[in-house]
Homo-oligomer: A and B are copies of this chain.
């Protein structure tokens, strides 16, 4: 994962050390084992654990690294908690609420009312004082570029584009009315409503030469990055959810949707109105026919169609059979 300075995007509210934080979380905590104190320098994810951070571990993340990490692990499963050899660990009643509380203690984010940004009005667009746009790049009118954003060389950002919480490479084109770096769908069915939204404190990384169409949405990651690899071409009205990883040279036709955390290999070609479930692993050189619904991992070089998506030749046979049977 590309490293980034989270607080450039989501400013630090207050520096906390571990023991003070623990005190503030006492209503959430069922059990704890703390043998250390340290200045908390960030949140990190179980996929990219970092020293001196807080790491939230859902029940389903059965993988508990055996090697210790000098961080605070927060569990919502007692067995996981109990089996962890980490020096600092707590077991909480409600992981979502604890996450919500910790993030809101630690930093500002755009779904909290106290988030602040300052804008200059430059060439008909609002550019954050804390953004950096290479002077060779061009913005059309009515764009918003939020705090922390960097935009590389020779980019063309069309009209009414919103770019927040994103690092954009060189030669990128983004179409009109697209929304980049927006809040991922951070809901917990047990804690519904805008008040309980799980703060999304990651970013979007868009590599060189990417082309994004009009009226698209690319959500930033929960903690890490949503990633769109080099030379990828994205058509209109496409939705890329939080934590999606798209490798180089993807070609996504209009109205495609990719759900959260799905990883896509190189050279994907996806027809229009296709959908991908979350947390999938799609291989390299995969072709997905239009209107497919991909619900399972796909190996390299597959060509799939239908819903649930399956090998296109099998799908064709199935369709022919269905039609024949239907006429009986």
Could you tell me which A residues sit within 8 Å of B by CB distance?
110-111, 113, 119, 121, 124, 126, 136-138, 140-142, 144, 154, 156, 158-160, 162, 164, 171-173, 175-179, 182-183, 185, 187, 189, 192-197, 208-211, 213-217, 219, 230-233, 235-237, 239, 241, 249, 251, 253-255, 257, 259, 269, 272-273, 275, 277, 290-291, 293, 295, 306-308, 310, 314-315, 317-319, 321-323, 325-328
* Residue from B110, B126, B178, B259 within 8 A of A253 (CB atoms): B259
Question: Would you call A193 and B215 a contact (CB within 8 A)?
Answer: no
Question: Would you call A171 and B194 a contact (CB within 8 A)?
Answer: yes
Query: Mind listing 25 A-B residue pairs with CB under 8 Å?
Result: A160-B179, A171-B193, A173-B183, A173-B194, A177-B178, A179-B215, A179-B236, A182-B213, A185-B213, A185-B235, A187-B211, A192-B249, A192-B251, A193-B209, A193-B249, A194-B209, A194-B233, A237-B237, A254-B257, A257-B272, A259-B290, A275-B290, A291-B293, A314-B327, A322-B325
Task: Give the residues in chain B near A179, CB-CB below 8 Å.
Answer: 160, 175-177, 214-215, 236
Task: Give the residues in chain B near A182, CB-CB below 8 Å.
Answer: 158, 175-176, 213-214, 236
Task: Give the residues in chain B near A194, CB-CB below 8 Å.
Answer: 156, 171-173, 209-211, 231, 233
Question: Would you call B322 and A314 a contact (CB within 8 A)?
Answer: no
Question: Would you call B318 and A325 a contact (CB within 8 A)?
Answer: yes
Question: Would you call A197 and B185 a contact (CB within 8 A)?
Answer: no
- Known contacts A179-B176, A194-B171; A142/B126 CB under 8 A: yes
- Known contacts A177-B162, A257-B255; A321/B314 CB under 8 A: no
Oligomeric state, in copies: 3
Task: Give the residues in chain B near A314, CB-CB below 8 Å.
Answer: 323, 326-327
Question: Would you call A187 and B272 a contact (CB within 8 A)?
Answer: no
Task: Give the residues in chain B near A322, CB-CB below 8 Å.
Answer: 318, 321-322, 325-326
Q: What's the minimum C-beta distance from A323 to chain B, rounded to whole angstroms?
A: 6
Question: Would you call B275 and A273 a contact (CB within 8 A)?
Answer: yes
Question: Would you call A275 and B293 a contact (CB within 8 A)?
Answer: no
* Residue from B158, B193, B208 within 8 A of A110 (CB atoms): B158
Q: What's the minimum C-beta distance from A294 to chain B, rounded to whole angstroms?
A: 10
Question: Would you call B192 and A176 a contact (CB within 8 A)?
Answer: no
Question: Would you call B325 and A307 a contact (CB within 8 A)?
Answer: no
Give complex CA distance A179, B160 in Å. 10
Chain B's closest residue to A269 (CB) is B189
Give complex CA distance A26, B124 in Å. 42
Question: Would you call B239 and A255 a contact (CB within 8 A)?
Answer: yes
* Residue from B162, B171, B328 within 8 A of A195 (CB atoms): B171
Q: What's the minimum C-beta distance from A125 to chain B, rounded to whole angstroms?
A: 9
